[in-house]
């Protein structure tokens, strides 16, 4: 157990750094760049029951301090992920991985989780009830405490792995949703997903994204993410994964001080594919500067 190791829902990570779903493909795509086994773990692309082409283009727009995306959960469907994507990842990554799943009904969530639960390499589920750019799915559950509790409860009935619910920041009271999924049996909480945003082309006088709105990620949302992690830490007693605009070792420490047991890196992977590796290498030096012997000591330290 090294000074960077943390516990996430009963599973030990070598360090608290994970990649956020949708920003690291299925993992093996980065294996030619560096040894991805330096990561604590990774969350692969959101998986749904059926294949999804995603939203029409254009579905990416830049912002001053981040980006908007309206990808729309593009993925080949759970059966193909199990048959093709996971075996490729298994060859290059030898730690438990996080399965990010979504659906358009409780039955779909349950079916996808039940199938993936049989896969040995999966260590946790990250259940996405917070996607802001898919009509009729995801965020519908994440905005309603009763539905959030219900989908959590039903997934827990068919899974043997820890279930971490990914929450939407696009709500009035994040703690109400957090408490609801804890009541439903969630083993952990992941937050935040993207904020709803829009850009308009001033020459065409119309939204840049075909979907009109998209999810804002990147450094612009980091202070919002820290605030929500801080609030949820005080509202629940289950572990938290913090994410949203994290792009440096100091961001990781700040997120953990707010209450996160682990931290996901998302949009920063697009700007610098080595960002996770660099952060992991920088963390011990930063801990030395802060006089911290073990990174677990700082979890919730700002409270």
Catalytic residue among 9, 113, 131, 276: 131
Say what angle helices 145-156 and 106-116 make with each other, to 10 degrees: 30
Q: Work out the burial of residue 37: count CB atoms within 10 Å of its CB; fewer than 13 is exposed, 13-18 middle, 19 or more buried.
A: exposed
Q: Map residue 138 onto helix, strand or coil.
A: coil
Look at residue 140 in the predicted model and tell me its pLDDT: 67
Instruction: Provide block-wise average pLDDT over 10 residues at a time, the chain (303 residues).
Output: 94 98 95 97 96 93 94 94 97 97 92 97 93 51 88 97 95 96 98 96 97 96 98 98 98 98 97 97 98 98 98
Identify which of 104, 97, 99, 164 has the alpha carbon closest to the alpha carbon of residue 131. 104
Look at residue 142 in the predicted model and tell me its pLDDT: 80
- Phi and psi (nearest 5°) for 122? -80, 125
Identify which of 186, 260, 206 has the alpha carbon closest to the alpha carbon of residue 230. 260
Any residues with CB less than 8 A from the CB of 264 and at least 6 apart, and which?
18, 19, 20, 43, 190, 241, 242, 243, 246
Tokens coding 119: 């896969």
Tokens coding 34: 């560096």
Tokens coding 293: 């012997």
Class of CATH domain 6-56+71-197+216-298: alpha beta
In the DSSP assignment, the letter for residue 150 is H
- Phi and psi (nearest 5°) for 98? -105, 125
Domain borders along the chain are 6-56+71-197+216-298
Decide if 113 is catalytic: no
Q: Map residue 45 onto helix, strand or coil.
A: coil
Look at residue 144 in the predicted model and tell me its pLDDT: 87
Look at residue 130 in the predicted model and tell me its pLDDT: 66
Tokens coding 12: 């030990």
Tokens coding 285: 């030096």
Contact 119, 89 (CB under 8 A): no
Tokens coding 168: 């939407």
């Amino acid at each position: 157990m090294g000074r960077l190791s943390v516990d996430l829902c009963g599973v030990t990570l070598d360090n608290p750094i994970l990649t956020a779903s949708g920003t690291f493909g299925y993992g093996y795509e980065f294996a030619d760049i560096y040894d991805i086994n330096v990561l604590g773990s990774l969350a692969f692309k959101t998986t749904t029951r059926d294949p999804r082409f995603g939203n029409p283009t254009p579905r990416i727009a830049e912002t001053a301090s981040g980006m908007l995306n309206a990808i729309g959960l593009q993925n080949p469907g759970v059966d193909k992920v199990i048959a093709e994507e996971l075996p490729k990842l298994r060859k290059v990554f030898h730690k438990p991985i996080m399965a990010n799943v979504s659906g358009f009904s409780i039955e779909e969530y349950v079916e996808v989780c039940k199938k993936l639960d049989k896969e040995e390499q999966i260590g946790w589920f990250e259940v996405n009830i917070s996607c802001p750019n898919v009509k009729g799915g995801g965020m519908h559950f994440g905005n309603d405490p009763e539905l959030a509790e219900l989908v959590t409860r039903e997934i827990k009935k068919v899974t043997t792995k820890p279930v971490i619910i990914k929450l939407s920041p696009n709500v009035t009271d994040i703690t109400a949703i957090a408490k609801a999924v804890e009541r439903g049996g969630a083993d952990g909480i992941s937050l935040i997903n993207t904020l709803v945003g829009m850009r308009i082309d001033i020459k065409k006088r119309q939204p840049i994204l075909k979907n009109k709105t998209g999810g804002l990620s990147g450094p612009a949302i980091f202070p919002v993410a820290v605030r929500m992690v801080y609030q949820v830490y005080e509202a629940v007693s289950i572990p938290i994964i913090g994410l949203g605009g994290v792009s440096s070792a100091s961001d990781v420490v700040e997120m953990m001080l707010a209450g996160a047991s682990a931290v996901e890196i998302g949009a920063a992977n697009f700007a610098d594919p080595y960002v996770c590796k660099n952060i992991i290498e920088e963390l011990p030096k930063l801990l030395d500067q802060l006089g911290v012997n073990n990174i677990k000591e700082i979890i919730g330290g700002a409270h």
